[in-house]
Amino acid sequence: MKDRKIIVYISLSLIIVVSLLAFYFFLRKPVRTSQPKSIQEKRVVVFKDVKYSGEKKGIIDWEIKADMARHFIDRPVVEIEGIDGQYKPKPDVVVYFNGKKGIINTEEEKGTVDEVSINYKKEYTLKSRYMDFDFKKGITSTDAPIDIRGERLTLRGIGLIAKTDEETVRIKKDISGFVETNKGRFKFESDTFLYMLKENQFILDGKVVMKGETLNLLCKSVSIKSKGSDIEMVEATGKVRLISKGNMAYGEKAVYYFKDDIVTLTGSPKLVRENVEMDGDSITYDMKKGRFNVNMPRVRIERR
């Protein structure tokens, strides 16, 4: 009998301890902050076949169509899928783009499009993993790799920023590609790339390398000026080196007029071949004949 009482007391004690612990942990339990799914769903309205647009001075300057849109009621944010859009940086210029999905802030008129493809004046197509758009400021940018292809230009790089007001497109780093001309194909590499729309001018900057069929060019910066779709002039500056058929010419500036098919090198130019070195007022390279010519030469022969 005595043993039974002891067992009953022990059991009651365990029940009391467990109850106290349960009550303690109940009071300590964190409060659930997330709302039920049914309430969250009420904050989003789903639409199909929608269109969003913005205007400047009463004129629509951007427009986006989407197959599906999830519109948040409590904030001006729209998630969209199946995107087709257009942007008018100028009244006579239309930039078309499409993407897999994206997000738009309708108040700030900015957003992001994933797996984007941009077509500029039906001349160039640019593709990237994503692109950020700020329609109010007229800025398009990405830090992802980009791929540009046109009838005569192929270019790859990493990072891009395009500014409507300045009418410029800058690719940030690791540039490589080639350009097709009526004089042949030229491959190029550089640290950065800049396209100035007003001047129709391309600038390759920082450790530039250009390789043609008969001539290789190394320098710090190259400016390519075009007239219409044709290249008119190439100007290289900063520690210029021209290499062709065992000859190497040095200078600070080289100008290549495509019409004349002549490269002119200035800025203390010199020509080196084997152990012969010639200085001159200028050095020209005939692209058709593949020959160098030194104006007012001063010859120095290095003895071995």
Instruction: Report pLDDT digits (tens) over 180-219.
Output: 887 788 899 999 999 998 888 999 999 999 998 888 999 9
Instruction: Return the pLDDT at 199.
Output: 87
Amino acid identity for residue 264 in this structure: T
Instruction: Return the pLDDT at 123.
Output: 78
**In angstroms, rounded to a whole number, what is the distance separating the alpha carbons of residues 139 and 288?**
43
Distant-in-sequence, close-in-space partners of 164: CB < 8 Å, separation ≥ 6: 89, 90, 138, 139
State the DSSP code for 34: S
**In angstroms, rounded to a whole number, what is the distance separating the alpha carbons of residues 173 and 180?**
22
Q: H or E element: which one contains 142? A: strand 139-150
CB-based contacts of 150-153 (< 8 A; 24+ apart in sequence): 150/123, 150/124, 150/125, 151/123, 151/180, 151/229, 152/179, 152/180, 152/181, 152/229, 153/124, 153/177, 153/178, 153/179, 153/180
**In angstroms, rounded to a whole number, what is the distance separating the alpha carbons of residues 300 and 278?**
6
Answer whether 88's CB lies under 8 Å from 64's CB: no
Instruction: Return the pLDDT at 42.
Output: 55
Residue of 205, 200, 197 whose CA lies nearest to 229: 200
Mean pLDDT, 10 residues at a time, the chain of 304 residues: 43 43 39 43 82 78 89 91 85 85 91 92 88 90 95 92 91 94 87 91 94 91 84 92 92 91 94 88 90 85 61
**In angstroms, rounded to a whole number, what is the distance separating the alpha carbons of residues 224 and 194?**
10
Distant-in-sequence, close-in-space partners of 131: CB < 8 Å, separation ≥ 6: 97, 99, 112, 113, 116, 118, 140, 141, 142, 160
**In angstroms, rounded to a whole number, what is the distance separating the alpha carbons of residues 119 and 170?**
16
- Which pair of tokens denotes residue 264? 């002119």
For the chain, list the domains and their CATH numbers. Answer: 166-304 (2.60.450.10)
CA separation, residue 257 to residues 146, 152, 272 (Å): 30, 18, 23
Answer whether 229's CB lies under 8 Å from 152's CB: yes
Answer whether 292's CB lies under 8 Å from 247's CB: yes
CA separation, residue 100 to residues 44, 66, 126, 238 (Å): 20, 10, 15, 43
Answer whether 64's CB lies under 8 Å from 47's CB: no
Instruction: Return the pLDDT at 52.
Output: 82
pTM for the model stands at 0.77
**In angstroms, rounded to a whole number, what is the distance separating the alpha carbons of residues 160 and 120?**
15
**In angstroms, rounded to a whole number, what is the distance separating the alpha carbons of residues 282 and 293?**
9
Amino acid identity for residue 246 in this structure: G
Residue of 282, 222, 285 whose CA lies nearest to 248: 285
Query: Helical H runs in the chain?
Result: 2-28, 37-42
- Which pair of tokens denotes residue 60? 């629509």
